[in-house]
């Protein structure tokens, strides 16, 4: 290859450049965001996610790193997870215990997130129901399943109903609902927090679908 032994040793011992070190940091974040997004992020979406966490990157650089490291979109229409229970937030007990009936309004609320496939890709729909009437009292749609989606729904429901203290708020144990920001709003308005059992969809989703 017309390379001297001295030149090869110098190349192998040369410290990484600033650009190479920056690429390594960016790549680590790309891998983490790809894991959190369940492989659903392409180049534009990945760039948006990286900028949201404070990285100043362009879509060409993101595309190059994804291509070089074999990070691609996993496309599927059969199933998409909406509950990320692999987190370190506190988990509340299941106060509802599958009792999805309520004697009066604003006694029991249930929230959940589902997904809808559209021509533009996956859209996430978050709702809160009053279990007395099964009426939707808060809802929001987004192309990202972040805690701000759940917070928007909760804020809408509170503004619409102004629930009394002691209203049970029941959801699964996803990170959106267990986040500090979401739980802070619940405490401020005097909710009793209830969460479904681990890996048991019937503790929450059955009540919403029933």
Give tens-digit pLDDT for 100-124.
Answer: 889 999 999 999 998 887 766 678 8
CATH code of the domain occupying 108-209: 3.30.420.10
Give tens-digit pLDDT for 39-97.
Answer: 778 888 888 888 888 888 998 999 999 999 988 877 655 545 555 555 566 788 999 88
Distance CA 8, CA 19 (A): 21
Let me know: does 92 contact 198? Beta carbons within 8 Å.
no
> Which pTM does this prediction carry?
0.57
Extents of the domains making up the chain: 5-68, 108-209
């Amino acid at each position: 290859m017309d390379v001297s032994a001295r030149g090869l040793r110098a190349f192998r011992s040369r410290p990484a450049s600033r650009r190479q070190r920056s690429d390594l940091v960016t790549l680590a974040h790309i891998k983490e965001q790809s894991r959190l997004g369940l492989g659903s992020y392409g180049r534009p979406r990945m760039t948006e996610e990286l900028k949201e966490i404070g990285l100043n990157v362009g879509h060409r650089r993101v595309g190059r790193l994804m291509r070089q490291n074999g990070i691609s979109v996993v496309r599927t229409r059969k199933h998409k997870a909406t509950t990320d229970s692999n987190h370190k937030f506190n988990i509340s007990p299941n106060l509802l215990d599958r009792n999805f009936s309520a004697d009066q309004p604003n006694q029991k609320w249930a929230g959940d997130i589902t997904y809808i496939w559209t021509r533009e890709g996956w859209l996430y729909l978050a709702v809160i129901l009053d279990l007395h009437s099964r009426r939707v009292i808060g809802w929001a749609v987004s192309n990202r399943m972040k805690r701000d989606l759940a917070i928007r729904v909760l804020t809408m429901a509170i503004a619409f109903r102004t629930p009394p203290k002691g209203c049970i708020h029941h959801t699964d144990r996803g990170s959106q609902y267990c986040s500090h920001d979401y739980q802070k709003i619940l405490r401020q308005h005097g909710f009793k927090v209830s969460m479904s059992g681990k890996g048991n969809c019937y503790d929450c989703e059955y009540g919403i679908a029933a």
